[in-house]
Amino acid sequence: MIFMRVEATDARLLRQLAALNYDFIKIPRLGGRDKDTVLCLLTREDWEANKFCKRFKHHVDATPKLEEAA
């Protein structure tokens, strides 16, 4: 799992992370007085399910499968 801490006022970054299927947990005052923070969480399954990963096939393992020669 990947996680990020983002200020709750950073709407631009939160919108981009939402497009990548991140889950959000808002925690009041984690960034200090009057600064709310959002924890952004992304699991492998959520990554594989996002529209960019499906379109560009980032989740497909590109390494060739090796077989024994003899």
pLDDT in tens, 19-47: 999 999 999 999 999 999 999 999 988 98
65 within a domain of the structure (yes/no): no
pLDDT over 80 at 59, yes or no: no
Would 61 be classed as within a structural domain? no
Residue 38 host element (H or E): strand 37-42
For residue 34, the model assigns a pLDDT of 92
Amino acid at 60: V
Q: What is the pLDDT of residue 57?
A: 75
Domain count, the chain: 1
pLDDT mean across residues, the chain: 89
In a domain, 68, yes or no: no
State which residues form the domain around 16. 2-56
Radius of gyration over every alpha carbon of the chain, rounded to an integer in angstroms = 18
Question: Which tokens sit at 57?
Answer: 């096939």
DSSP-derived 3-state class of residue 39: strand
Across residues 39-64, what is the average pLDDT? Answer: 82
